[in-house]
Amino acid sequence: MAKIKAVIPAAGLGTRFLPATKAMPKEMLPVVDKPAIQYVVEEAVAAGIQDILVIIGRNKNAISDHFDAVPELEGRLQQKGDHSRLERVMKSSEMADIHFVRQGEPKGLGHAVLRARTHVGDSSFAVLLGDDLIDEHETLLPDMIAAHERTGAAVIALMRVAPEQIHLYGAAAVETTDVDDVVTVTGLVEKPSAEEAPSNLAVIGRYVLPPAVFDVLEHTQPGKGGEIQLTDALQELASAPDGPGVVGVVFDGRRYDTGDRVDYIKAIVQLAVDRNDLGSDLRPWLKDFASRL
């Protein structure tokens, strides 16, 4: 397949994280010492994607600034001979070809994805939610790209969640295929109650989509929460008899929704413990802390 582009929607309001997100996008909240969105960009780059479009909204200039070069800061670090920090600072502006487009009003994830149409054109593309972190050791995105290349279908990532959690996600009705961890998606419901949910397989923030999804999004009406939902557009693709169809890659690895406060704290603790430069200081403290709970 020709090289695919990635789209990172980052124009949501981040209401779950107010007041921290009043003037700062949630995608810029630091996870240890990098903003959440940088991990997401690094994941796309690791999967071989070089062209990345970030969908930004109100108060989102911090995101474009973060991926820009800062010559004064770089010059100062150079003078001080602080090469490791210099390298880390320059990485964010050099690692990929990063573009931005504004959503205007946050009318929902489906609406945000539709804003990518001009940039993406008539090609398949990946969508990575800017607040959803997948551990760097996982191969979810390459697995999804491979599933798309095999099937031509829209590929979504699914994760099993507890029944009392499913109302926070889109939920999928599925049938097994002869490939382990790959399912055919026969239906999708956005944020169902536990009783309405067709399964406990929740849609998480990675997608590999054919361009046909844009035509569907053009006429998708506002759904749950009055927002244009990507899930509703994918439900239409899943039920169209002549369309590309939808398949799911079932993921059971490490993933954090940094837009959720508890998951955000878990992400910081887990990633810091794993780091060579921080883990040895943090681990004994954490053990002691946990023993006193």
Stretch that binds ligand UTP, among 65-73, 104-112, 154-162, 261-269 (CB under 6 A): 104-112
- Cβ distance to ligand UTP smaller for residue 36 or 153: 36
Binding positions for ligand UTP, 265-284, rule CB under 6 A: none
- At its nearest, how many Å lie between ligand UTP and the CB of residue 14? 4
Stretch that binds ligand UTP, among 73-81, 82-90, 127-135, 243-251 (CB under 6 A): 127-135
Six token digits for residue 237: 């693709």
Q: Which one among 6, 129, 158, 183 touches ligand UTP, defined by CB under 6 A?
A: 129
Q: Which residue is nearest to ligand UTP (CB)?
A: 12
- Cβ distance to ligand UTP smaller for residue 63 or 182: 63
53 interacts with ligand UTP by CB under 6 A: no
What's the gap between Cα 269 and its chain centre?
20
128 interacts with ligand UTP by CB under 6 A: no
Q: Which one among 13, 90, 95, 286 touches ligand UTP, defined by CB under 6 A?
A: 13
- Cβ distance to ligand UTP smaller for residue 124 or 264: 264
Q: Which one among 6, 52, 120, 130 touches ligand UTP, defined by CB under 6 A?
A: 130
Tell me which residue has tokens 């960009």: 41
Residues that bind ligand UTP (CB under 6 A): 9-16, 55, 103, 106-109, 111-112, 129-131, 259
